[in-house]
Each structure stands twice: as C-alpha cells, then as structure tokens.
Amino acid sequence: MKKVLITGGAGFISHHLIAFLIQNTDWEIISLDRLDYSGNLNRLDDILSQFNDDFKGRVRLVFHDLKAEINPLVKKEIGDVDYILHLAAGSHVDRSIKYPLEFVMDNVVGTCNILNFAKEIHEKNGLERFLYFSTDEVFGPAPIGINYKENDRYNSTNPYSASKAGGEELAVAYENTYSLPIYITHTMNVFGERQHPEKYIPMCIKKIRDGEPVTIHSDTKKKVPGSRHYIHAEDVASAVYFLLTKKIENDINWGNAKCPKFNIVGAEELDNLELAKLIAQYQNKELKFNLVDFHSSRPGHDLRYSLSGDKMKQLGWTPNISVKDRIKQVVDWSLLNSKWIEY
C-alpha cells in the first residue's frame, strides 16, 4: 500500500484530492495542516462522512505549521511516505498585498521546510514523487490570444504569485541539486463544493440567491469582463492522480531543465459576466451586476490569466465533464448545503 502526505489537507483543493484518492486507490493518506484562515476540518469531516469506517481509517491528520521545520516528533508521526503533494499555501491575493511577508513565510520558507523533509526521506528510502502545486498567476496577465505554456517566462504581479514563484524555484533547485523526483503543476481558478465563501463562484451563488448585485472585475472602461479557465477541484484531483500513476518521459529540453512542469487547465474559458449569468440561469434568478475596474482600485489583480492545456492533453488527460455542467453541479449542491456559502 502506498502512503501519501498531503500538505494543507483541510484546504479546499486538498480535501477534494483526499476524497478522490479514498475512492480510487487503497493508499494511506496523511493530511498535514495548521488549520488557519484557509484550513477547515469541517471540510474533511463533511466529505469523510460519505465513506464507511474502513475508508475513513486510511486518513490520518497531523498538525504542523510549515513555517517551522518538521521536528523529530512530527517526522515520527508522519512516518515514511511514497508521495508528498505540497498544496499548503497562503492563497488570498488581497491578504498578500496587505501582508506580503506572511506569504513569503508560508509559500517560500514553508516550501523549503517540506523540501528538506522530502530530501531526508529520499536519501533514506527513496521518494517516488514530490509534487509542488503552483499557480497560473506566476505567469502574470495574459493578453487576448495568449495561453502560457509550462516553461514560459514569469511575471508576478502581486506578492502571492511572487511567493508561489519563489517556492517553485526552490523546488526546481532541489531537483537540480539533490535529484529529488519533483513535478510542478500550474492550475487556475479551481472551484467546487465547500470553497471559501469569499471566492467568486460561491459569492455569486449567494448574492444571486439573495437578490444582491454581483461585482464583476472588468477593464478600465468597464466594458470587458475579466476571464479565466475555470476547473472543478475533482478534475484537478484526477489530473494529479494521472501524473502520479502514469509513466511520463521528460523528452523536452528546456536548457537542461530537469524538473517537469504541467498545466492543469479547464477546457473552456469563461468571462466572469458569462459565468455570473450561468449561475443566475441555474437558479432561475435575475442577475444584477456592476462592472468595476478592479485593477485601478486594487493593483495586483489582473484582468485575464490563461494557460495552455496542450501538454496534458497530449499525455492523455483532459477534464471528463464540461465546465458548465460542473458549475450547475456546484450551484445545485450549494443551495442544498447553504452553510458553505454563508459569510
């Protein structure tokens, strides 16, 4: 039986990943979390309640804040693992703009500490894979018609994306220096059940339900809404599992770069007004909205991000459910489980 350590296991994406691995593997799962602003054990409790005790018994919770190195007692609690999936991160752009050093500590120092732990395991028993979960935002804003590929240049526009790029470069360095078996993924605008209610989709569901206007990020002329490739967290989990279990040859030479990178991307780009209209349609409600030039009032927020999903598609992975069907799924679920969209 494989053992996998997932950092930030009580976070939004991670708890969907844990549920996917429970359903699709016999692996033992260790969730490492400090349970802060983003972590919520109620997520895990809610999703684990769907499984019987045999399934739930494969999940263990370990408390640790990765700003500190992993001490011997925590190492003993974790034990040896085959995979480390590093999803723990500070991820709220607004907070990063206000408190940039917090994000350096979480996303750079925290990454260095988990990499040191991975290095120790790899030297002792051999680690099959370390996956660093990065973001589309490291590439910066994407002009219309541009979809960034895995090894394109970076252009961070806020402290959050800069700190994720810093952690990513540490991961690359540990592959180059210590031969750690590292993969890096970039994904963008993940949504799904139990997402933090301040995020765009749960916020839209609640405001439209309550007849309140939705604020939509637009260009300076308040004519063009921002756009993203939205992807459901279950599809992200599917892509991660695909990368862990498929033999992949890194046959592309990017200046002798050894660390493979993969974009996990939704199949369809939606602008945020179109998305809000869909959410209103699925509720049979009228959409009230205001287009607001967010970038001028909130520097560090970009109008459009976009990644190319060609590499994963060529390897054999794409989302198997359309984004519009996924959005309807989340709208229906959220209305039935309204505590998850309340502030």
pLDDT for 250: 61
Closest of 61, 70, 57 to residue 11, by C-alpha: 61
Looking at the predicted structure, is the pLDDT value of residue 196 above 60? yes
Average pLDDT of span 243-247? 93
Q: Quick one: 57 and 178 in the same domain?
A: yes
Do residues 312 and 260 make contact, with C-beta atoms less than 8 angstroms apart?
A: no
Among 252-261, 308-317, 328-337, name the one with the lowest average pLDDT. 252-261
Q: What is the pLDDT, as a whole number, of residue 292?
A: 84
Confidence band for 233, pLDDT divided at 50, 70 and 90: very high
Residue 328 domain-assigned?
A: yes
Give the pLDDT score at 268: 86
Two tokens, residue 214: 């939705």
Let me know whether 27 and 156 are in one domain: yes
In a domain? residue 296: yes
* Average pLDDT of the chain to the nearest whole number: 91
In a domain, 317, yes or no: no
Over residues 217-243, the mean pLDDT reads 88
Same domain, 176 and 285: no
**CA distances from residue 62 to 77, 81, 321 in whole angstroms, order as listed:** 7, 14, 33
- The CATH number given to whatever domain includes residue 142 is 3.40.50.720
Q: Are 26 and 141 found together in one domain? A: yes
pLDDT per position as a tens digit, 138-150? 999 898 889 999 9
Q: Is residue 310 among the annotated active site residues?
A: no
Provide the total of helices (H) and of strands (E) in the chain, helices listed first.
Answer: 14, 13
Domain coverage including residue 294 = 200-228+268-305+322-341
Lowest-pLDDT range of 292-296, 315-319, 333-337: 292-296
Angle between helices 159-178 and 110-124 (to 10 degrees): 20
Residue 331's CATH number: 3.90.25.10
Q: Which pLDDT does position 296 carry in this prediction?
A: 59
Is 136 an active-site residue?
Answer: yes
- Report residue 251 CA to chain centroid gap: 26
* Run of H or E including 182: strand 182-187
Q: Catalytic residue among 28, 82, 137, 234, which?
A: 137
Does 313 reside within a domain?
A: no
Domain boundary among 215, 248, 264: 264
Our answer to whether residue 343 is catalytic in this structure is no
- Judgement on whether residues 158 and 282 belong to the same structural domain of the protein: no
Residue 310 lies in a domain: no
Whether residues 297 and 173 share a domain: the answer is no
Instruction: Give me the mean pLDDT over the 67-72 stretch.
Output: 96
Spacing of C-alpha 99 from chain mean position:
21
Of 305, 302, 303, 272, residue with least CA distance to 287: 272
Residue 327 is predicted with a pLDDT of 97
| Residue 62: burial class (beta carbons within 10 Å; 0-12, 13-18, 19+) | middle
Both 179 and 294 in a single domain? no
Question: What does the alpha-carbon distance between residue 92 and residue 61 come to, in Å, rounded to a whole number?
Answer: 24
Does the structure show a pLDDT above 70 at 21?
A: yes
Instruction: Tell me: do 61 and 148 sit in the same domain.
Output: yes
Q: 85-134: per-residue pLDDT in tens?
A: 999 998 888 889 999 999 999 999 999 999 999 999 999 999 999 999 99
In a domain, 311, yes or no: no
Tell me, yes or no, whether 239 and 332 share the same domain. no
Q: Which string of DSSP letters, residue by residue, matches 124-153? A: HT--SEEEEEEEGGGG----TT--B-TTSP
Domain shared by 259 and 214, yes or no: no
Q: Determine, yes or no, domain membership for 57.
A: yes
Same domain? 10 vs 125: yes
Residues 279-291, mean pLDDT to the nearest whole number: 95
Query: Considering its fold, how many domains does the chain have in total?
Result: 2
Q: Look at the block and give the residue holding tokens 């190195």.
A: 69
Confidence of residue 222 (pLDDT cuts 50, 70, 90): confident
Catalytic residue, chosen from 136, 150, 193, 271, is 136
**Does one domain contain both 170 and 296?**
no
User: Per the domain annotation, does 111 fall within a domain?
Assistant: yes
Q: Which of 132, 160, 183, 200 is catalytic?
A: 160
